[in-house]
Structure 1
Amino acid sequence: MSQPQFPKATRINLVDFTSVPMRTFHITWITFFFCFFGWFGIAPLMPVVREDLGLSKGQIGNIIIASVSITIFARLLFGWLCDKIGPRISYSALLILGSIPVMLIGLSNSYESFLLFRLAIGVIGASFVVTQYHTSVMFAPNVVGTANATAAGWGNMGGGVTLMVMPLIFAALVGAGYAAPEAWRYSMIVPGVVLLILGFVYYFCTQDTPAGNLAEIRKDLPAATAEKKESFWKTCQDYRVWVLFLAYGACFGIEITIDNIATLYFVDNFHLGLKEAGLIAGAFGMMNIFARALGGVFGDRVGKRYGLSGRIFILALFLLLEGLGIMLFASMDVLVWAIVTMLVFALFLKMSNGATYSVVPFINAKAMGSVSGIVGAGGNVGAVLAGFLFASESISYRDSLFMIGIVVALVAAVAFLLAVAQRAAISPVTADAAVQEAVA
């Protein structure tokens, strides 16, 4: 709701740690960063887990699917909760509850128990929706795309750092005298404890909006002036939400799939050691330090001139380049060229992520949490569908990636059609301005 005495931030000042929007920005991306340690901390250790628990390729595929499937429902739930109780309490509860299976996954002694813990850990993936909601309510329309993309990008960078750091934690424990089956179990206690601590930090150091927490605002305002929220089901009737659902599945869905399989891919196809493969796979995630933010920057700049249709068009272009890059990567047999092409498609993939959430705040300002949740869930639906390919005993990882590249290119075509339809529906000059008052 609009609160003139507590305006949204109209610029991003990275050295500001005191104003409510910027303090929230920093705490949010740092928290999201460490969420990846909990969510994907086990991924770079899977070669060790595979040997310890005697897992087959199909079982590993099912584990990958489990790690992202429950997130679909968690993102829908927490998007709705953000609208109802605010991001502060929602995020704190998610972090505290999510830390439990992370710390306890080391108790797994079979495929079935490991699968259940991996499924439970997937709930942490809902952290993304809260992150995007919280930055959306803190920043004005002229910079909201950049703020969303930067916070999410720096948070997503945790996926790359995780792939690099977790093998080092494992190696340190082995060096301290623990056997490999013990070391991977104790390694996961570290991210679990961090998430538990951050749950309390988030509760005490952030607030829901620039004007205060939702409970306080609703108590102080007369019922007649309270902002009316649109229902979740009405939000579902907007076809633009579902196009963005597909688009996010084609970018973020593929990102978390690569986070899950990259170490295995380089170990199996290029015969690298765990640490070497983890460093290369980590480079994929490290692209988030700038690439996702670039997608948001492009979205905001094109949006100022061409409105919502321009934002969607730039998203479609990035998706197309991502799809072509994935197909090229899947064709590489030489390690150096595999790394180069991986970084190329990673650039456009992460820019697509940022561009998607430069569109989201302009779809329905009265149901931002629901829109964020549905689109965010699309990322995990994409990951689940991709996971079925990687679970197949008859389809190689290379062939799976090539098919994924084709699908991403097709989704890009759908996004291009939406951009054309949006341009025909509303004047590009007024597209962003039409929602300026509602979003602000």
Structure 2
Amino acid sequence: MTSPKRPEIGAFLFSSRGQCLHYTWIAFFITILVWFNHAPLMAAIRDTLGLPDNVVKAILILNVALTIPAHIAIGRLVDRFGPSVVFSCLLALSGLLSFAFALADDLVLLLVLRFLLGLSGAGFVVGIRMIGEWFPAREVGLAEGVYAGWGALGSALAAMALPAVALAFGGAEGWRYAVAVTGFVALIYAGIYYLSVRDTPPGATYFKPRQMGAIEVTSRRDFLLCLMTLAPVYGALAAVNWLLGPDALVILPEPVGRAVYGGLLLAFLYRGYRLYWGNRDVFSRPADPFHQYDFTQVTVLCLVYCVTFGAELSVLSVLPLHFQGLYDLTLVQAGMLSAAFALMNLASRPLGGWLCDSYGRKKSLVLLLLGAGVGFLLMSQMAGSWPLAPVIVVTMVSAFFVQAGSGAVFAIAPLIKRRLTGQIAGLIGAYGISGAIFFLMIFALLTVQMFFLMITWLAIAAVFIVLLLLVEPRGQTAEILPDGTVQMIDVG
């Protein structure tokens, strides 16, 4: 038996599939640009509106709070309505919210709009389904890596370009123009994306879930596992509520915080009810073999992405302070070194996906997690006595392994169950944001050495979880066409 041919780069990048990939990573790039359009301008926003430090920190936290449940909600919408419509609508909504944020003067309105702009951070999920539709299994890892890695550079562009835009307009209100520019770009591209991209290649079928109330599971064991997998997402939201409450940033009064805790509990119970009601048939009879899949694979990828992407996001926040503490660096110098960590995504995510396509998904993921564990173990030992060059090398190596690990996760996710890819990607993405919140709380409560060591320990734990529970995608999976015909899809 001959092994599948690896894609030629020219055909990969410039075919009709390649055009879809480019349109989609640019859409993700713009949603990230909008999501982080406030971060490099926070000093100007603070000074213009006279914001106290606790409000500044609250804005940064609120920017990711809605992103956690939005991943799950957007995933369901993508599976139901298709990625071209959902991405276009999300871009348009992000643009309108950016204009509103640029005009805001009221403190409460500013906080509410930043919370709502967390929706933009869920744009990642849409492209995962789109790329999974357009690329075959032997290319999907590289394609998803290019999509995620190149699109993630939106945050780097925001950091580099938006202060210059604000300065060009001049005056204390320049930040408003810079934020509004990102909104204008999002609105224009919403129309371009809708008119330019189809949900599937010509002649292919877009498979939709059988029900929209909750993700499909195919056994009683998977029902319980899905419920257990959802619980930490609500735990992360409870942690955000605590951070905003009277014991931390003092933004939410205690009665409001208690109401939020109660609302989160009710939301979890309601989600459990919808999960049961949508999958109640599995309690009375076995699922049709053509619909069966193992939810364990979803849970494993959630836990791995919590470590990889959670570490990536949190390290980006910690590195500037850490470098300044180790060496006598200016804020700009420390920021440039930290930006290099983010810019590694340009190559590391695609390489992680390519390794999975070429040498096996499970084996590649294990090796990348081991590399990340070793890298962050070395980072925990860094001290001011180290020369700067080895520190930079260790940081870049750690960035490669942890980002390539994130790419490997989404080389596997689209192969689990085609019609549920959006919901699966949404749950995995929510775990990534939740992981970042967890690691940042470790950083806030303990030392920076313990922060890096925690990432190391969890990366090694993830290795054992993958070895014991993850199943290498092989052979074919089945989907049923609207006329009842069974279609087999290669996943090996």
Give TM-score, length-normalised by structure 2. Answer: 0.71
Q: Which residue of 2 aligns with 1:389?
A: 442
Pick aligned residue for 1:241 from 294, 298, 305: 298
Aligned-residue identity in percent: 31
In the alignment, the residues of structure 1 paired with residue 111 and residue 323 of structure 2 have an alpha-carbon distance, to the nearest angstrom, of 23
* Closer/same/farther in 2, CA of residues 386 and 65 from structure 1, 3 Å limit: farther
Q: Which residue of 1 aligns with 2:373?
A: 323
Q: Which residue of 2 aligns with 1:428?
A: none
Shift of 1:252: 1.6
Q: Is the 8 A contact 1:150 1:292 kept in 2?
A: yes
Tell me, yes or no, if structure 1 residue 354 matches structure 2 residue 413: no
Q: Which residue of 1 aligns with 2:467?
A: 416
Q: Which residue of 1 aligns with 2:185?
A: 194
Q: Which residue of 2 aligns with 1:169?
A: 165
Q: Which amino acid aligns with 1:239?
A: T
Q: Which residue of 2 aligns with 1:157?
A: 153
Shift of 1:87: 0.4
Tell me, yes or no, if structure 1 residue 373 matches structure 2 residue 426: yes
Tell me, yes or no, if structure 1 residue 253 matches structure 2 residue 310: yes
Tell me, yes or no, if structure 1 residue 183 matches structure 2 residue 174: yes
* Closer/same/farther in 2, CA of residues 115 and 400 from structure 1, 3 Å limit: farther
Q: Which amino acid aligns with 1:297?
A: W
Q: Which residue of 2 aligns with 1:332?
A: 382
1:123-148, CA deviations, whole angstroms, 9 ceiling, x for partnerless residues? Answer: 11111111111010001111111111
SS, match of residue 438 in structure 1: strand
Tell me, yes or no, if structure 1 residue 433 matches structure 2 residue 433: no
1:129-175, CA deviations, whole angstroms, 9 ceiling, x for partnerless residues? Answer: 111110100011111111111111111233333333334434x33xx
Pick aligned residue for 2:122 from 94, 114, 126: 126
SS, match of residue 232 in structure 1: coil
Give the number of equivalent residue pairs.
398
Q: Is the 8 A contact 1:160 1:283 kept in 2?
A: no
Q: Which residue of 2 aligns with 1:83?
A: 79
Q: Is the 8 A contact 2:309 2:406 kept in 1?
A: yes
In the alignment, the residues of structure 1 paired with residue 118 and residue 153 of structure 2 have an alpha-carbon distance, to the nearest angstrom, of 18
In the alignment, the residues of structure 1 paired with residue 120 and residue 188 of structure 2 have an alpha-carbon distance, to the nearest angstrom, of 15
Q: Which amino acid aligns with 1:322?
A: A
Shifted more, 37-46 versus 242-251: the winner is 37-46
Q: Which amino acid aligns with 2:150?
A: W
In the alignment, the residues of structure 2 paired with residue 191 and residue 377 of structure 1 have an alpha-carbon distance, to the nearest angstrom, of 24
Pick aligned residue for 2:363 from 295, 302, 313: 313
In the alignment, the residues of structure 2 paired with residue 48 and residue 269 of structure 1 have an alpha-carbon distance, to the nearest angstrom, of 28
Shifted more, 96-105 versus 141-150: the winner is 96-105
Which structure has more relative contact order (CA 8 Å, sep 6+)? It is 1
* Closer/same/farther in 2, CA of residues 34 and 281 from structure 1, 3 Å limit: farther
Q: Which residue of 2 aligns with 1:223?
A: none
Q: Is the 8 A contact 2:475 2:490 kept in 1?
A: no
1:289-308 map, 5 Å: 289-303=346-360
Q: Is the 8 A contact 1:168 1:275 kept in 2?
A: no
Q: Is the 8 A contact 2:209 2:420 kept in 1?
A: no
Pick aligned residue for 1:286 from 343, 349, 364: 343
In the alignment, the residues of structure 1 paired with residue 106 and residue 460 of structure 2 have an alpha-carbon distance, to the nearest angstrom, of 39
The Cα RMSD (Å) is: 3.2
Q: Is the 8 A contact 1:321 1:345 kept in 2?
A: yes
* Closer/same/farther in 2, CA of residues 336 and 364 from structure 1, 3 Å limit: same
In the alignment, the residues of structure 2 paired with residue 398 and residue 249 of structure 1 have an alpha-carbon distance, to the nearest angstrom, of 19
Q: Which amino acid aligns with 2:188?
A: I
Q: Is the 8 A contact 1:40 1:260 kept in 2?
A: no
Tell me, yes or no, if structure 1 residue 403 matches structure 2 residue 473: no
SS, match of residue 413 in structure 1: helix
SS, match of residue 432 in structure 1: coil
* Closer/same/farther in 2, CA of residues 183 and 268 from structure 1, 3 Å limit: farther
Q: Is the 8 A contact 1:241 1:375 kept in 2?
A: yes
Q: Which amino acid aligns with 1:432?
A: R
| Pair member with larger Rg | 2
Q: Which amino acid aligns with 1:415?
A: V
1:338-390, CA deviations, whole angstroms, 9 ceiling, x for partnerless residues? Answer: 43322111101111011101111222223222222222222122123234335
Give TM-score, length-normalised by structure 1. Answer: 0.79
Shift of 1:190: 2.3
In the alignment, the residues of structure 1 paired with residue 380 and residue 98 of structure 2 have an alpha-carbon distance, to the nearest angstrom, of 32
Shift of 1:273: 4.4
Shift of 1:271: 5.9
SS, match of residue 410 in structure 1: helix
1:306-362, CA deviations, whole angstroms, 9 ceiling, x for partnerless residues? Answer: xxxxx1232132123223323433443445444332211110111101110111122
Q: Which residue of 1 aligns with 2:131?
A: 135
Q: Where is the helix percentage greater, Structure 1 or Structure 2?
A: 1
Q: Which residue of 1 aligns with 2:25?
A: 29
In the alignment, the residues of structure 1 paired with residue 13 and residue 364 of structure 2 have an alpha-carbon distance, to the nearest angstrom, of 32
SS, match of residue 316 in structure 1: helix
Q: Is the 8 A contact 2:92 2:186 kept in 1?
A: yes
* Closer/same/farther in 2, CA of residues 35 and 435 from structure 1, 3 Å limit: same
Q: Which residue of 2 aligns with 1:232?
A: 215
Shifted more, 104-113 versus 365-374: the winner is 104-113
Q: Is the 8 A contact 1:12 1:22 kept in 2?
A: no
1:69-116, CA deviations, whole angstroms, 9 ceiling, x for partnerless residues? Answer: 311221112211121111000100111111233333344557755443
Tell me, yes or no, if structure 1 residue 71 matches structure 2 residue 121: no
Q: Is the 8 A contact 2:6 2:358 kept in 1?
A: no
Q: Which residue of 2 aligns with 1:105?
A: 101
Tell me, yes or no, if structure 1 residue 208 matches structure 2 residue 259: no
Identify unmatched segments of 5+ residues in structure 2: 224-294, 479-487
* Closer/same/farther in 2, CA of residues 139 and 15 from structure 1, 3 Å limit: closer
In the alignment, the residues of structure 2 paired with residue 261 and residue 188 of structure 1 have an alpha-carbon distance, to the nearest angstrom, of 25
In the alignment, the residues of structure 1 paired with residue 46 and residue 382 of structure 2 have an alpha-carbon distance, to the nearest angstrom, of 26
In the alignment, the residues of structure 2 paired with residue 61 and residue 87 of structure 1 have an alpha-carbon distance, to the nearest angstrom, of 33
SS, match of residue 474 in structure 2: helix
